[in-house]
Structure 1
Amino acid sequence: MLKIAFAGTLTAAIFLLLFALACWLRIDVLIDTAWLADLDSTIAAVACVALLIADAVLPAPSSLLLIALGALLGKVLGAAAGFFGTMGGAALAFWIGRKGSVLFARIGGNTTSAQLQSYLNRFGVVTVIATRPIPVVAETVAVLAGASGMEWGRFLLGAALGNFPIAIVYSILGSSAATNRMLLVALIGIATALSLFRSRLKEAGKVEARLP
């Protein structure tokens, strides 16, 4: 189990370093969603979906993007677009893990891979569902699932069950916020809190990267 924990920690550290790099470069589209106001609604929605997919490797503000989709497209279409984007991001992270399975085996050893595969065969779907709302952890679990050889169908089932309610809730909030100023203020506060949480995770990644 220690080897599995080490492999998981190393994977999470890589994501955190990528997030820290993106923030250091100060890429505006990865910081907030204010720039969407300057785009046509259709183009803005496509950009939101693309960033949700890229969230597998970049610190895209996923909660704000899902809210924006609800405001741009309405509850139903916004939820559908958000679900598609989050599923794309999950699939990308899983694919990265699958392609990096040889490297994972070298780092953790064949025994670690076998143990992880055994664990995911028993609890994989539940683990994927439970971690989808958690930044960094969701991507880490997806990569580890791909590296372990977990079946695509089982992973996508877990990702779908985890992403579907998230997409619906944020889309409803975004659609409602478009006409409710008080709700919009509340959502900005919540999104800010989530951004601060993610920033703390990035700072933790920087500290970990400096440790010998």
Structure 2
Amino acid sequence: MARAIGIDLGTTYSCVDVFQHATKDAGIIAGLDILHIINEPTAAAIAYDLDFKKSSEKHVLTFDLGGGTFDVSILILDNGVFEVKSTSDDTYLGDEDFDNNISQNKRALRRLHTACERTKRTLSILSQTSIEIDSLHEGIDFYLTITRARFEELCPDLFRSTVEPALHDAKMNKSYRDEIILVGGSTRILNVQKLLQDFFHGRELNKSIHPDEAV
């Protein structure tokens, strides 16, 4: 007989009790053995396998830019215990906004949106890429070359609204010197990383695990 494996489920920090219970009930209905409901900032810090045994207090910033939401949270790790001290979120900003900024003013077709998603990810590692779609509309092929610099020109307001206000609301200052961990696929966008590093005067970001797999 296969051994049952218990799991922890993550919810946003702002998720109220009724939704946490609904999440747990959904897991139970699906046949899962739910051990704990954990807020996502804490789950991310655990996933990064930070040094829980350090006796000195440690501040952790989680920078979570996912598909449809953006969250910045400040946690304190003290003797193996995490406590969320503050959080700031934008439930209407996520990587879909960056995709839409590439595809605006062009045909609102799903194929184009999918191609833009793929292009955005490619530009996180290459300085230039192409979008090629055969017979996009009425037999017309679509071809476009886009550079990372051009993509970043299209999205300055999104980049700024992602980094600066959230960190300000989270009461962070530029003397911050502990862990900064990345969560969510859009944190692989190099300009997002650069803005975050610049805010903290070149502070190294913790990228030890894949941000898509952190939570």
Provide TM-score, normalisation by structure 1: 0.26
Structure with the higher helix share, 1 or 2? 1
Q: Larger C-alpha radius of gyration, 1 or 2?
A: 2
- Relative CO higher for 1 or 2, CA cutoff 8 Å, sep ≥ 6? 1
Structure with the higher strand share, 1 or 2? 2
Provide TM-score, normalisation by structure 2: 0.26
